[in-house]
Chain A
């Protein structure tokens, strides 16, 4: 196995420091992903708290290898990305900071092809998030 520190060295600095959806997708070599109904994306329509917005993503696209979460209106939109291997289910739940009303996009890579799904989260009162 690779030690955790080796994986840290792969951290996608360019993607996490990107300021736009297009630049994030570029850093993931995802180009212009096709919209897919085989990606389940659950986020609240209205966020009670901008510092804790739950998200659930599950990809039904065969051979899904990667799922990235992009909060389009955050200063740094790329929030996380996960690689799945050895038969792991391409699905996860997490909690995001969403600094203001934003479209949340997930980008999926499967068999070298890219797909996306998006949903908007309305943030009532913004506090302070990245």
Chain B
């Protein structure tokens, strides 16, 4: 099964941007019941962790105020071919998601 987290690396001069997309409803839940009488339960990502070669660089706490299928961008300097990014997410239902990408840059 493919991970709900998609990672892409973009090289810009000496900086490398990681683009993170997560497939997730980011549902805030309803204050009021729907017509069916059943309120929608909240279901959203609560945390995101970005590791570079297994060292934690960014720890984020998230809420349903982020857009559905949220996207994030972070940038790093000094990334070389072979460096590995790992991204972990957890949601409020206890689901854990993970994805990895290894930097591979062509010769100039």
Contact = CB atoms under 8 A, between A and B. Distances in A.
Interface residues on B, range: 35 or more
A96 B67 contact: yes
Interface string B47-87: 10111101111111111111110111111110000000000
Given A5-B90, A91-B75, A130-B28, A11 B70 contact: no
Interface residues of A, number: 39
Contacts of A34: none
A74 B54 contact: no
B7 interface: no
Contacts, number: 114
A71 interface: yes
Contacts of B89: 4
Contacts of B62: 79-80
Contacts of A88: 50, 52, 57-58, 74, 76
Contacts of B67: 51-53, 95-97
Give the top 10 A-B pairs by smallest Cβ distance, nearest first.
Answer: A130-B28, A79-B65, A88-B57, A93-B73, A4-B88, A95-B67, A8-B90, A82-B60, A83-B59, A52-B67
Interface of A: 1-2, 4-5, 7-8, 10-12, 16, 51-53, 56, 71, 74-76, 78-89, 91-97, 129-130
